Structure 1
Amino acid sequence: MRVLLRTLSPLLGLALAAVGVVLVVEVVAAWVRPTARGLVVPWPAWQVVLTRLSWSERPVVVVSICVAVVGLLLLLVALLARRHDVRLTAPTPEMTVATSPRVLARLVGRTVRESDDVAAATVSASARKVVVRAEGWPDADGGLGGLTDTVRGRVDGLLDALPLARRPRVAVSTRGRKEPR
């Protein structure tokens, strides 16, 4: 969602800036030559067309519905793009303590990767759920030897040690690495 906002914000800003520049150019051109037509925009032709339209005609209704839908979509994007912090218990009631999901994912990932039987791990975290995907070194018989329990135990230990206001659910998936140790 943040990528959408980071793309949409400059595009809307550039569009508004372009409209502003065209408006300034048209106003200056009208001041310099009051009897001439618009420099970029054909204002007199538009005025003739717009004076014939009433509020109840189809083009006006379609344009207004489109503008309303685009406005509601922008409002929805803005509401959904809020920051999703992971709340921590505060030392005093007057304080609010939070961390980002990225920091929580890095902590969990570092803890999981410290285990000797974990070859690699990827972690994604939110305030509600921590998802760990770990790759382990296979045993001599080709099995993982309880890697899931080891990873889950390390993650549970870390989450118990952190002062989280609400403990997220933990989902662990493991697989064996194909190459030898």
Structure 2
Amino acid sequence: MRFVLRLLSPVLGLLVAAVGLITTIEVVTAWVAPASSPLVVPWPTWQAALLSSTWSSPVVRGVAIGVGVVGLLVLLVALVARRHDVRLTDPVPEVTVTTSPRSLARAVGHEVRSHADVVSASVVASSKKVVIKAGTLDAPDDVRAGVRERVDELLSRLPLARRPRVSVSVAATKGVK
């Protein structure tokens, strides 16, 4: 979502800049040559149409609803795109300590890959959940228990403010032992 927000911000900025530039051109044109027709925007016909509209017109209500929906969508994208840091226990009340989900996944992945029976591992972490997918040449059930113990031990050593749920799946891979 942060990617969408990074694309949406410059587009909206350019749109506002274009509207400002067109408005400036129209105002300067109206000051310099008031009798001439508008250059870009047919604002006299828009003005006449708006003078005949009231707040209870279906067009005005439709535009208001549309602007409100677009505003809520932009707000939703901005809220979803925030950083999802993993909180750690604060050493003192004045200090807030966080780490990234990538760093937590890297620490858990290093611990999982150090297990002798694991040949490959993939870890995805967030503040709520850690998902581990490992590959082994041995019996998956035996390795799963060992990996689970190592991850639980690691998470107990880390100063996490809230312990995430752990999901471990181990699959047997093909290979020569």
TM-score (norm 1): 0.88
Distance 1:91 1:74 in 2: 37
Q: Aligned partners of 2:113, 2:28: CA distance in 1, in Å?
A: 65
The aligned residue for residue 153 of structure 1 is: 149
CA shift, 1:65, in A, is 0.9
Superposition pairs of residues 8-19 of structure 1, within 5 angstroms: 8-19=8-19
Alpha-carbon distance, 1:126 to partner: 1.2
The Cα shift of 1:134 comes to 1.2
CA distance in 2, matches of 1:13, 1:147: 53
Q: 1:130 Cα shift?
A: 0.8
Which residue of structure 1 aligns with residue 67 of structure 2?
Answer: 67
In 1, Cα distance between equivalents of 2:11 and 2:43: 26
Query: In 2 relative to 1, CA 158–35 (structure 1 residues): closer, same or farther, beyond 3 Å?
Result: same
Percent identical pairs in the alignment equals: 57
Query: How big is each residue's C-alpha offset from its partner over 1:40-97, in whole Å with a ceiling of 9 and x where there is no partner?
Result: 1111121122222122111111111111111222223333333222111122232211
Cα distance change of structure 1 residues 16 and 178 upon mapping to structure 2, 3 Å threshold: farther
Q: CA RMSD in A?
A: 1.8
Structure 1 residue 145: Cα displacement: 6.0
Matching residue of 2:122:
122
Structure 1 gaps of 5+ residues are none
Pairs aligned (count):
177
* Most deviating of 124-133 and 72-81: 72-81
CA contact (8 A) 2:102 2:125 kept: yes
Contact 2:141 2:170 in 1 (8 A): no
Matched, 1:172 2:159: no
Bigger mean CA offset, 72-81 vs 107-116: 72-81
Q: Give, in whole Å, the separation in 2 of the partners of 1:122 and 1:24.
A: 56
Secondary structure of the 1:93 match is: coil
Structure 1 counterpart of 2:53: 53
Counterpart of 1:7?
7
Q: Normalised by the size of structure 2, how large is the TM-score?
A: 0.89
